């Protein structure tokens, strides 16, 4: 498999898509990286890490050696990605210099966190036509189908669902975030007239994925899914009033049809027996200890950030927490938060403009689903490190690259006897290794 990935980069890309959730993984213990709360969960190496490395090496070799094909496409997101990566690297280097970050751990985690940006650039350049884009989407949906079946199997065995090959202590929150994003893609295909050519499969995937999502018992994922549903409901409110009515009735009946484990999990947030001094209270309302720990971690992040407000403590320099935004603030400071916001705005602008430019129903459905998933991931980040979780971000940036590629390919299609000009933010650059995108 690894040899195939190196010799045939595009085939390797398909293998990467499959292994995003179905690839085995190996966890390096946190203490081997130097200990501390930041490394308590260790560093995980997975099959797709090695596949990505080999496919990437093959792609870079092509750029270096095959002059006729050795060009790369510069996309609308290059600048935003470069700013975000630059601040993260600079903050970590400063953290290493002042002794807040262990060099090996900081560098390794930094590479691990941002490998999906490399996947974005690689996908953008390896894919050459719309047929390949559709095939990659099909493979990713088929992978989601298998993952959903596995989660339902876990639920049937009385286990809390997590992604395959995650060991004894899985991460249900990670699987939940992945499912919210992928189900958003499926919803986009189903809600766009003419987009889905296999509606039976897409409806089945939506149903199985919804059941699998409940099996995760992930409250952050439930919240993200609720916001996605609210956005979807607002979108269809005028176009399909009957469907809107059915959704509202279904939500009102949720206490009846939702599994008891899901109801208990949601209600436990507010009904956990009182533990003096361990629960956060606002008046008479209290939340459970898990939510309290998350809220307190926000305060810890602010306290850590105060020691270096501009560029933060560096990646792995701050306290560990399951919340994206305070962690981002503690690790990379105000500059990191601003550049991350610019990156998110750039992603939204790319997808939103593509939705208006592309007239193909299939791609409109993919883009609409991506926008729904984008909103869901922003919400999911309140209770998880969503944008640095590789199993969530690899599909996210895969679809971002596919959307950017569709826009480029459509811009190059002839109109009459003339070729459409490329969008202003797309262009080709030389194949020298020194001029690769940031």
Average pLDDT, the chain: 83
What are the two backbone dihedrals, phi and then psi, of residue 408, each rounded to the nearest 5 degrees?
-65, -45
| Residue keyed to tokens 């699998």 | 212
What are the two backbone dihedrals, phi and then psi, of residue 114, each rounded to the nearest 5 degrees?
-110, 20
The lowest-confidence range among 59-73, 163-177, 277-291 is 59-73
> Confidence band (pLDDT; 50, 70, 90) for 48?
confident
Q: Report whether pLDDT(424) > 60.
A: no
Q: Report whether pLDDT(302) > 70.
A: yes
Nearest CA-CA partner of 39 in 27, 47, 30: 30
> Confidence band (pLDDT; 50, 70, 90) for 37?
very low
Q: Mean pLDDT throughout 346-362?
A: 94
Q: Report whether pLDDT(107) > 70.
A: yes
pLDDT of residue 235: 82
pLDDT tens across 209-219, in order?
Answer: 999 999 999 99
Q: Mean pLDDT throughout 336-353?
A: 96
> Confidence band (pLDDT; 50, 70, 90) for 433?
very low
> Confidence band (pLDDT; 50, 70, 90) for 207?
very high
Compute CA distances 244 → 186, 234, 360, 384, whole Å: 18, 9, 25, 30
The model's pTM is: 0.87
Higher pLDDT, 388 or 283: 388
In percent, how much of the chain has pLDDT > 70?
Answer: 82
Compute CA distances 220 → 19, 68, 134, 323, 393, whole Å: 24, 48, 30, 10, 16
Pairing of strands 414-415, 418-419: antiparallel
Give the contacts of 184 (CB within 8 A, at least 6 positions apart).
228, 369, 370, 372, 373, 376
pLDDT of residue 43: 66
Exposure of 336 in the CB half-sphere (CA atoms within 13 A): 27
Question: If DSSP states are collapsed to H, E and C, what string results for 186-235?
Answer: HHHHHHCCCCCCCHHHHHHHHHHHHHHHHHHCCHHHHHHHHHHHHHHHHH
> Confidence band (pLDDT; 50, 70, 90) for 277?
low
Q: How does DSSP assign 55-70, residue by residue?
A: HHHHHHHHHHH-TTT-
Exposure of 289 in the CB half-sphere (CA atoms within 13 A): 7
Alpha carbons 313 and 115: distance in angstroms, whole number: 21
pLDDT of residue 35: 42
pLDDT of residue 28: 64
pLDDT of residue 282: 66
pLDDT of residue 80: 96
pLDDT of residue 430: 38
Nearest CA-CA partner of 405 in 360, 362, 368, 350: 350
Q: Mean pLDDT throughout 279-306?
A: 77
Q: Mean pLDDT throughout 370-391?
A: 94
Higher pLDDT, 419 or 236: 236
pLDDT of residue 78: 92
The lowest-confidence range among 60-69, 258-267, 350-359, 414-423 is 414-423
Q: Mean pLDDT throughout 94-101?
A: 92
Contact 100, 38 (CB under 8 A): no
Nearest CA-CA partner of 12 in 123, 141, 165: 123
130: three-class secondary structure by DSSP: helix
Nearest CA-CA partner of 152 in 202, 206, 209: 209
pLDDT tens across 226-265, in order?
Answer: 999 989 988 877 777 777 777 778 877 777 777 888 877 8
Q: Report whether pLDDT(427) > 60.
A: no
pLDDT of residue 141: 97
- Number of Cβ within 10 Å of residue 431's Cβ equals 18
The span from the first CA to the last CA of the chain, in angstroms, equals: 29
Structure tokens at 292: 């309290």
Q: Mean pLDDT throughout 112-117?
A: 84
pLDDT of residue 434: 33
In percent, how much of the chain has pLDDT > 90?
Answer: 44
Q: Which helix (H) or strand (E) holds 282?
A: strand 281-282
pLDDT of residue 437: 37
Contact 283, 308 (CB under 8 A): no
The lowest-confidence range among 98-102, 146-150, 283-287, 364-368 is 283-287
Q: Report whether pLDDT(435) > 50.
A: no
Q: Report whether pLDDT(36) > 50.
A: no
């Amino acid at each position: 498999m690894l040899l195939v990935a190196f010799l045939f980069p595009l085939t390797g890309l398909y293998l990467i898509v499959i292994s995003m959730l179905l690839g085995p993984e190996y966890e390096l213990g946190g203490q081997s990286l130097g200990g501390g709360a930041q490394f308590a969960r260790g560093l995980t190496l997975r099959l797709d890490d090695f596949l990505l490395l080999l496919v990437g090496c093959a792609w870079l070799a092509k750029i270096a050696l095959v002059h006729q094909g050795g060009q790369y496409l510069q996309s609308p997101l290059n600048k935003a990605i470069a700013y975000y990566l630059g601040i993260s690297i600079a903050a970590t280097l400063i953290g290493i210099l002042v002794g807040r970050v262990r060099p090996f751990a900081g560098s390794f985690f930094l590479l691990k966190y941002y490998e999906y940006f490399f996947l974005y650039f690689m996908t953008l350049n390896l894919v050459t036509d719309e047929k390949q884009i559709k095939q990659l989407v099909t493979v990713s949906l088929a992978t989601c189908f298998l993952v959903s079946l596995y989660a339902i199997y876990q639920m049937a065995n009385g286990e809390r669902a997590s992604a395959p090959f995650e060991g004894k202590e899985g991460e249900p929150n990670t699987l939940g975030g992945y499912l919210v994003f992928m189900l958003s893609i499926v919803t986009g295909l189903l809600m766009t007239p003419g987009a889905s050519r296999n509606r039976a499969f897409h409806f089945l995937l939506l149903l199985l994925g919804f059941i699998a999502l409940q099996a995760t018992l992930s409250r952050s994922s439930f919240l993200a899914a609720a916001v996605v549903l609210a956005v979807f409901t607002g979108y269809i409110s005028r176009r399909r009033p009957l469907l809107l009515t059915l959704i509202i009735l279904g939500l009102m009946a949720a206490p009846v049809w939702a599994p008891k484990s899901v109801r208990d999990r949601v209600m436990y947030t507010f009904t956990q027996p009182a533990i003096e001094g361990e629960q956060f209270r606002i008046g008479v309302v209290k939340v459970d200890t898990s939510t309290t720990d998350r809220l307190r971690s926000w305060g810890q992040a602010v306290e850590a950030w105060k020691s270096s407000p501009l560029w933060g403590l560096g990646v792995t320099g701050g306290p560990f927490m399951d919340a994206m935004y305070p962690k981002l603030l503690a690790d990379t400071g105000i500059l990191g938060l601003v550049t991350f916001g610019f990156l998110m705005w750039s992603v939204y602008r790319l997808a939103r403009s593509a939705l208006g430019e592309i007239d193909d129903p299939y791609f409109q459905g993919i883009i609409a689903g991506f926008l729904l998933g984008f909103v869901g991931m922003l919400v999911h980040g309140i209770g998880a490190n969503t944008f640095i979780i590789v199993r969530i971000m690899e599909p996210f940036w895969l679809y971002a690259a596919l959307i950017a590629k569709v826009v480029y390919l459509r811009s190059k299609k002839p109109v009459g006897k003339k070729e459409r000009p490329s969008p202003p933010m797309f262009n080709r650059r030389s194949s020298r290794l020194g001029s690769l995108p940031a």
